[in-house]
Structure 1
Amino acid sequence: MALAYAAIGRRRLTVAARAVQPKLLVHGHYHLADEAVVEAPGGSCRVISLNCEGRRGNLRFLDLSTLESVPADDRKGL
């Protein structure tokens, strides 16, 4: 049941991302901190996955002018 629910959410997010073609997509659905660049027909999109609440990697700081982000744990450079 949980895998089917996750598949529905993944499909919905894919449809939305293809329509909007964002340069940055941030989500926390899978509760695992990760980052990747995905190539798509409209160009590349950086995808940031946040960890679950209370765990390292669940919060990032985002510079809206550059779309650069750093984990809250590493914010010394901001």
Structure 2
Amino acid sequence: MAQLSGQARYSTVNLTYFEPGSGYENHNSDPGFWSRVGSAVKNGAAILGQIFIALVTVWPFWVVGLVLGFVIRNYRRRNKNLTRKEQ
């Protein structure tokens, strides 16, 4: 053991250290406030886009509803005019 400690006394240790460059991401920390705000804006825009796509997808129902509304409105107007003429 004494021989090993004597050899360790004259040995050289080379250390290399560096700082992480760009692109390094620390996964241990929570994202900052503005990062979270940006993420929330992106998520909100994605949700609005999905809602718009859902509304466009059901366009046949919009057309049928408009046609039915037009027919019902004209039917009521005609019946209102007929009942006034009868009186």
The TM tier, using the shorter chain, reads: under 0.3
Q: Which has the higher helix share?
A: 2
Report which of the two structures shows the higher radius of gyration computed on alpha carbons: 2
When the two structures are superposed, what TM-score results if normalisation uses the length of structure 2? 0.21
Q: For CA contacts below 8 A with separation 6 or more, give which structure has more relative contact order.
A: 1
